Structures are given as structure tokens and as C-alpha cells.
């Protein structure tokens, strides 16, 4: 009886693993397809073709096109947090953490340009799609929260100025980063991206530092 139970548990685990692998496969395919075709121009068949799975499996794991895209947005958010946290744990210095945060964000424009094409497509849905608006709001809030946590730590350790309005500063930093990246993604000849982002990062840190020459 015990062996039968263990065998069933093993089968269940394998089934769950396969399901997770297929879901991840479909989400990766959706990421590629949406970045190429845009929100309005892709079909479930496109996702199936890109993933190498059947359209029936796409419908099995996701209720509809919107459900697939919402899961894609959640996946993007989770991955961004994972990559960032891996880097942040490498230092205890708030100034270095802030630089890491900005480096990771600005670096996406070069390493994951498709990410911003997908994100911009999602932004166009917020006016008419409450679920998409809520998902985008959570994504932007997570960016602000990550930045705010670094600023609070910097203030508590005496690295950043005590009078900083953390919510305002985090919102401003995220806005500058996002705005600069969007401009670059839309027209990568508009300015020297590396030069501009380096200057932006240095300026932000200089404004926040308690001591100008630490």
C-alpha cells in the first residue's frame, strides 16, 4: 500500500513537472511572438508554432489570449526580480545596490530589447482592459518598491540624505530610467545611450548621497 502511494506521488510530481515545463515553454513562445507581431496581430496558432506544441495544449494551459498575456506579464516581473536580487545580495553597500539596480534596468535595453516592445504593447491595453491595467500597475509598483527599499536602507545606514522623500525619489528614478529606455528603443540613433545612462546614474547618486565625496 505504501509503495503504491509513493508511486502515485512520484507520478504526480512528474506530471506537475511536465505541466510547468510546458507552461514555461508556451510563455517563452508568447514572449517571442508578441515582441515580433504585437498584441493585436498574433494568434494562438502563432504561439503553438513557435513553441512546437499544439493549439489544443495552448488552450489547455491558458483560458484565452488574455490569460496567456497576463501570465507572460507575471513571468516577466518574476524574472526581473530574480535577476536583480541575485545581483543585490552580492553587496551590502546601498550606493552599490542603487548602481546595480540602475545598471540592471538600463542594461535591459541592450540585452532584452524585445522586453520593451512587449511592455509597450501591454501599456496600450491599460485604458480598455482593467485586468491588464492592474497587472501593469503591479509591475510598475514592483519597480518602485525595489528602488524604495534600497533608498530606505541607504538612509538608515547614513549613506543617503535623511530628508529624501523616498516615494518621490523612487518614482522619479523609475520614470527617468523607463523614459530614457523607451526613447532609445524607439530611436537608437537619438543619443549615445551608454554616455547618457552613465551620466544619469552618476547624477542620481550625487543628488542622494549624504556626503558628496564619500
Residue spans of the domains in the chain: they are 1-62, 65-214
pLDDT tens-digit profile of 76-98? Answer: 778 777 878 888 888 899 999 99
**What band does 213 get if pLDDT is binned at 50, 70 and 90?**
very low
Instruction: Fold for 65-214, please state it.
Output: Tetracycline Repressor; domain 2 (1.10.357)
Q: Distance of alpha carbon 10 from its chain centroid, rounded?
A: 34
pLDDT score of 214: 44
**Which residue has better confidence, 164 or 41?**
164
* Contact criterion met (CB below 8 Å) for 171 and 114: no
Residue found by looking up cell 489570449 in the block: 65
* Contact criterion met (CB below 8 Å) for 208 and 161: yes
* Contact criterion met (CB below 8 Å) for 87 and 100: yes
Residue 11, all three cell numbers: 507520478
Whether residue 130 has pLDDT greater than 60? yes
pLDDT tens-digit profile of 16-39? Answer: 667 888 888 888 888 888 888 877
Whether residue 154 has pLDDT greater than 50? yes
**pLDDT over 90 for what percent of the chain?**
38
* Contact criterion met (CB below 8 Å) for 113 and 186: no
Closest CA to 121 of 179, 192, 63, 34: 34
> Which CATH number is 1-62 given?
1.10.10.60
Amino acid at each position: 500500500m505504501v509503495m503504491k502511494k509513493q508511486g502515485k506521488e512520484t507520478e504526480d510530481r512528474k506530471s506537475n513537472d511536465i505541466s510547468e515545463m510546458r507552461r514555461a515553454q508556451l510563455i517563452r513562445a508568447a514572449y517571442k511572438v508578441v515582441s515580433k507581431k504585437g498584441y493585436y496581430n498574433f494568434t494562438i496558432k502563432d504561439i503553438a508554432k513557435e513553441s512546437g506544441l499544439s493549439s489544443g495544449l495552448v488552450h489547455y494551459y491558458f483560458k484565452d489570449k488574455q490569460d496567456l498575456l497576463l501570465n507572460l506579464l507575471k513571468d516577466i516581473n518574476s524574472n526581473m526580480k530574480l535577476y536583480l536580487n541575485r545581483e543585490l545580495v552580492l553587496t551590502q553597500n546601498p550606493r552599490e545596490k542603487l548602481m546595480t539596480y540602475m545598471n540592471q534596468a538600463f542594461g535591459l535595453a541592450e540585452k532584452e530589447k524585445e522586453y520593451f516592445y512587449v511592455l509597450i504593447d501591454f501599456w496600450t491595453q491599460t485604458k480598455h482592459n482593467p485586468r491588464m491595467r492592474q497587472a501593469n500597475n503591479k509591475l510598475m509598483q514592483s519597480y518602485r518598491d525595489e528602488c524604495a527599499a534600497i533608498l530606505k536602507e541607504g538612509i538608515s545606514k547614513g549613506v543617503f540624505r535623511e530628508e529624501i522623500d523616498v516615494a518621490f525619489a523612487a518614482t522619479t528614478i523609475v520614470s527617468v530610467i523607463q523614459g530614457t529606455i523607451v526613447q532609445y528603443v524607439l530611436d537608437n540613433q537619438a543619443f549615445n545611450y551608454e554616455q547618457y545612462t552613465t551620466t544619469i546614474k552618476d547624477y542620481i547618486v550625487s543628488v542622494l548621497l549624504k556626503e558628496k565625496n564619500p
